[in-house]
């Protein structure tokens, strides 16, 4: 695996990751699913270190979808506890590494303690500039687009016509770089309602590696594959 020279147009500015395979990873080891989620959370720190080293500007992690509410109550509760634990134990380190935390998704329905922890992390890192770590929690791509349209309608002047740029200002990802690369782990080949608007010209990368086993070398491999792609954006 050889990465090409770190040129701005050869390193994906914004990488999205569908973190899939925690449950299967745990099942293979006769562990409860909660252990898979715990090990999956431990992957984030070394991957962010690698992303910073590569020069990536933003990473969006699909942490909890609007569809995940259909999972068993005990598992959902465990995920909130894990997210809170992550921020409680990692927030100082995140600050030291100049990582800016962002949240994409609705804060509605979240436990108050989880919601407050997310708000705290976003507020206390908003001036950090090295890289953005965007947690997509209680997120759905279709829901994001509907919300953006409704937000625009609420602010639109009489007779005003919506445009792509106007709508994008109301997306959760407003201000982030274009999504260049989407990675999905665990061998599944679906988008699963993730960043639907942003995926228009994104390069897709699928790997059989389960999320808890996805390390820095796997990220470098994905970026190396990205660098081989010829991106024409509809042109010749």
Annotated catalytic, 68?
yes
- What share of the chain has pLDDT > 70, as a percent? 95
Please pick, among 49, 68, 193, 213, the residue that the annotation labels catalytic: 68
Domains of the chain: total: 1
Q: Is residue 222 part of a domain?
A: yes
Task: Give the chain's mean pLDDT.
Answer: 95
| Confidence tier at 233 by pLDDT (50, 70, 90) | confident
Range of the domain at 215: 14-142+178-228
> What was the pLDDT predicted at 49?
98
> What was the pLDDT predicted at 27?
95
Q: Is residue 9 part of a domain?
A: no
pLDDT of 112 > 60? The answer is yes
Q: Is residue 51 part of a domain?
A: yes
Please pick, among 20, 22, 180, 218, the residue that the annotation labels catalytic: 20
CATH number at residue 202: 3.40.1180.10
Q: Is residue 196 part of a domain?
A: yes
- In this structure, what are the phi and psi dihedrals at residue 93, rounded to the nearest 5 degrees? -65, -40
pTM for this entry: 0.94
> What was the pLDDT predicted at 234?
75
pLDDT of 224 > 60? The answer is yes
Q: Is residue 18 part of a domain?
A: yes
Q: Is residue 147 part of a domain?
A: no
Reduced 3-state DSSP string for the chain: CCCCCCCCCCCCCEEEEECCCHHHHHHHCCCCHHHHHHHHHHCHHHHHHHHHHHCCCEEEEEEEEHHHHHCCHHHHHHHHHHHHHHHHHHHHHHHHCCEEEEEECCCCCCCHHHHHHHHHHHHHHCCCCCEEEEEEEEECHHHHHHHHHHHHHHHCCCCCCCCHHHHHCCCCCCCCCCCCEEEECCCCCCCCCCCCCCCCCCEEEECCCCHHHCCHHHHHHHHHHHHHCCCCCCCC
Q: Is residue 155 part of a domain?
A: no
| Confidence tier at 215 by pLDDT (50, 70, 90) | very high
Q: Mean pLDDT check: name the lowest of 6-15, 36-45, 189-198, 218-227.
A: 6-15
Section 168-195 average pLDDT? 98
Q: Is residue 53 part of a domain?
A: yes
């Amino acid at each position: 695996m050889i990465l090409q020279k770190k040129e701005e147009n050869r390193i994906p500015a914004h990488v999205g990751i569908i973190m899939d395979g925690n449950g299967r990873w745990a099942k293979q080891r006769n562990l409860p699913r909660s252990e898979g989620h715990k090990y999956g959370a431990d992957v984030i720190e070394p991957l962010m270190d690698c992303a910073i080293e590569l020069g990536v500007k933003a990473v969006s992690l699909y942490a909890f979808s609007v569809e995940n509410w259909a999972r068993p109550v005990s598992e959902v509760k465990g995920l909130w506890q894990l997210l809170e634990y992550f921020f409680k134990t990692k927030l100082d380190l995140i600050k030291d590494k100049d990582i800016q935390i962002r949240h994409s998704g609705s804060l509605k329905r979240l436990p108050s303690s989880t919601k407050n922890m997310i708000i705290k992390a976003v507020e206390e890192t908003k001036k950090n500039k090295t890289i953005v770590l965007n947690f997509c929690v209680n997120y759905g791509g279709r829901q994001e687009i509907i919300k953006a349209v409704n937000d625009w309608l609420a602010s639109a002047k009489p007779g005003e016509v919506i445009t792509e740029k106007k709508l994008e200002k109301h997306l959760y990802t407003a201000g982030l770089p274009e999504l260049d690369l989407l990675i999905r782990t665990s061998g599944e080949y679906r988008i699963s309602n993730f960043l639907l608007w942003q995926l228009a010209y994104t390069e897709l990368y699928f790997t059989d590696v389960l999320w808890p086993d996805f390390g820095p070398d796997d990220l470098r491999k994905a970026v190396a594959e990205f660098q081989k792609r010829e991106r024409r954006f509809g042109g010749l």
